[in-house]
Structure 1
Amino acid sequence: MLQTHAQCCRCSVHPVPSWAPCQLVLWPNFQKYCIDVSLLSEHPQCFLPASMVISNTSTGSRTILHMNSFIMADFSQRDIDVSAVVLQVEGQTPCACCVVCPSTGTRTVILSDTNLPDVTAEDFSKVHLHQFKWIHWEGRNAEEQVKMIQQVERYNSMLPQQQKITISVEIEKTREPLYQLFPHGDVVFVSKDVARDFGFESAEAALKGLYSRVKQGAILICAWAEKGADALGPDGVIIHSDAFPPESLVDTLGAGDTFNAAVIYTLSKGGSLQDALTFGCRVAGRKCGFHGYDSISKVFDDMQPQSLF
């Protein structure tokens, strides 16, 4: 039996986790799970419970889940180093609920974006840069991120070429302040939405039209969903990879992130731009064929570019 007597708010939306088939998740039927929800409507001023107690009625044992502890546990389970993460003393943890349609694989994200501060350039200055080979920025608070990148550029200026940190940025959202990141990446990922915001209707057209915004010698990459992805480097040659859709579309959540990660992985290992683009499309396509990300490296072992070995 699961009991929660913590103070929380009434929930009028019955979302479906992205990792679970819709037909298996029956949140409206609280009695099915013996969940005591008698206090749900008594404390509308509160946001989330501080903790939840899961009790085993047959043994009397219990497990206490403290709010947000699952986040750190998730990182630890997947061997993600969070030693440089800034722990905030103000604000609340943002929460996003992803509703996935099993028949099409499309998703709707319901975001509760609270007042958690973004990482600042001052926070970043406390990080020891010598431990990094590649640093990637997803465009958010761009003015602060430019200051962070400038710290890396100053650090790089004192190093030989082979020891310099590679800088990549992703410009995904159609927000004008993010566009100042274009000239600050050695590798720049631009989204289909941003390309369309500039009036381009294909990845190739976007690369040709936006390349003047990146710095000399940079690589510009644009993924275009089912049409694959294109890249343009300093040699002026457009490189293309087709998409690799799964047999059955299950969950597209995170496909763009897995594409970026696979491209960065390949380039950081010395792979060619063509290999990186193709591997990125393969990984993103395979990702869309199953829920979640667990054991993703095992799934993709057979797809790594042979040139990396």
Structure 2
Amino acid sequence: MMSLLCTYRCLSQRWQRGGNASNSCTVLSLLGAPCAFMGSLSAGPVANFIMADFSQRDIDVSAVVLQVEGQTPCACCVVCPSTGTRTVILSDTNLPDVTAEDFSKVHLHQFKWIHWEGRNAEEQVKMIQQVERYNSMLPQQQKITISVEIEKTREPLYQLFPHGDVVFVSKDVARDFGFESAEAALKGLYSRVKQGAILICAWAEKGADALGPDGVIIHSDAFPPESLVDTLGAGDTFNAAVIYTLSKGGSLQDALTFGCRVAGRKCGFHGYDSISKVFDDMQPQSLF
């Protein structure tokens, strides 16, 4: 549920599907990439709304796990129209997360890229290992790319660092390790990722940096809109745009810049749907 506030009066309200991986799927779909979502839901009106919204955006939900226990979590997001900032009040529930056993039922041959939002990391490592075993039987050009997002400052999530071909680490996590810039975080945390991996850290209005196996720091400035309207999901938008570009064979610099451009544009309007309207003039030329 979204509440748009000016001072203390609510000016408008809407329902919006959320969640990091869910939002990234929305953006990928709007950019024209076929994608699927896997997560947990509990049957009821909230789940019905979520599933209908996925369907409206042509996002495959055949792998969604309907749990018999728990409730689908809901958040109230208060957005300030004068600054575009948001306050999130989360009503978290006892809804079980997807397990490695659930993931074992997924037909991996459908996918070229699988992204994990860091949650129940111990189970997610087991899921990733399933993909790694699958990849070991394939030629290089057919292997599934694995990406992980480590956003929350929770110690168990840090075991995901060595399991991604592409690793997104948040500003909050970087600061939790004592780093005060994206560049410092990449240099300090790169030893945690596996050989050949790409480590990416976005730093809000300062843009984003990335570090690959060549040891060269890549940077993109931020592209703020003329006026901030809605920053909710900007990070999820950035991740999706980076994944989109890299999956199309774009360079790391192109991916980083495109991610910052799309995320910046998204902050200039409510929700995500307008991304498709401004996509053509933002797409990296190297992808044509």
- The residue correspondences of 1:78-227 to structure 2 (distance < 5 A) are 78-227=57-206
Deviation string for 1:238-284 (max 9, x for gaps)? 00000000000000000000000000000000000000000000000
Where 1:68 maps in the other structure, the secondary structure is helix
Where 1:234 maps in the other structure, the secondary structure is coil
Moved more, 164-173 or 293-302: 293-302
Deviation string for 1:16-56 (max 9, x for gaps)? xxxxxx424599x999999999999xxxxxxxxxxxxxxxx
Moved more, 129-138 or 85-94: 85-94
Where 1:99 maps in the other structure, the secondary structure is strand
Moved more, 287-296 or 273-282: 287-296
Name stretches of at least 5 consecutive residues in structure 1 with no aligned partner.
Answer: 1-21, 41-59
CA pair 90-211 structure 1, distance change in 2 beyond 3 A: same
CA pair 214-36 structure 1, distance change in 2 beyond 3 A: closer
Report the Cα offset of residue 71 of structure 1: 1.2
Deviation string for 1:92-114 (max 9, x for gaps)? 11101100011111111111111
CA pair 77-237 structure 1, distance change in 2 beyond 3 A: same
* TM-score of the two chains, using structure 2 as the length reference: 0.85
Deviation string for 1:46-93 (max 9, x for gaps)? xxxxxxxxxxxxxx9999994532111111111111011111111111
* TM-score of the two chains, using structure 1 as the length reference: 0.79
CA pair 95-269 structure 1, distance change in 2 beyond 3 A: same
Q: Match of 1:3?
A: none
CA pair 123-205 structure 1, distance change in 2 beyond 3 A: same
Q: Distance in 1 between matches of 2:112 and 2:265?
A: 27
Is 1:255–2:234 an aligned residue pair? yes
Q: Distance in 2 between matches of 1:111 and 1:281?
A: 27
Where 1:25 maps in the other structure, the secondary structure is strand
CA pair 73-176 structure 1, distance change in 2 beyond 3 A: same
CA pair 150-64 structure 1, distance change in 2 beyond 3 A: closer
Bigger relative CO (Cα 8 Å, ≥ 6 apart): 2
Q: Distance in 2 between matches of 1:274 and 1:203?
A: 15
Q: Is the 8 A contact 2:29 2:58 kept in 1?
A: no
Q: Distance in 2 between matches of 1:260 and 1:304?
A: 15
Q: How much identity, in percent, do the aligned residues show? A: 93
Q: Is the 8 A contact 2:26 2:272 kept in 1?
A: no
CA pair 30-198 structure 1, distance change in 2 beyond 3 A: closer
Is 1:31–2:22 an aligned residue pair? yes
Q: Is the 8 A contact 2:118 2:151 kept in 1?
A: yes
CA pair 91-230 structure 1, distance change in 2 beyond 3 A: same
CA pair 31-71 structure 1, distance change in 2 beyond 3 A: closer
Where 1:104 maps in the other structure, the secondary structure is coil
Q: Please tell me whether Structure 1 or Structure 2 has the larger radius of gyration of its CA atoms.
A: 1
CA pair 61-282 structure 1, distance change in 2 beyond 3 A: closer
1:287 to 255, 266, 282: 266
Q: Distance in 1 between matches of 2:254 and 2:115?
A: 19
CA pair 70-165 structure 1, distance change in 2 beyond 3 A: same
Q: Distance in 1 between matches of 2:189 and 2:27?
A: 56
Deviation string for 1:155-183 (max 9, x for gaps)? 00000000000000000000000000000
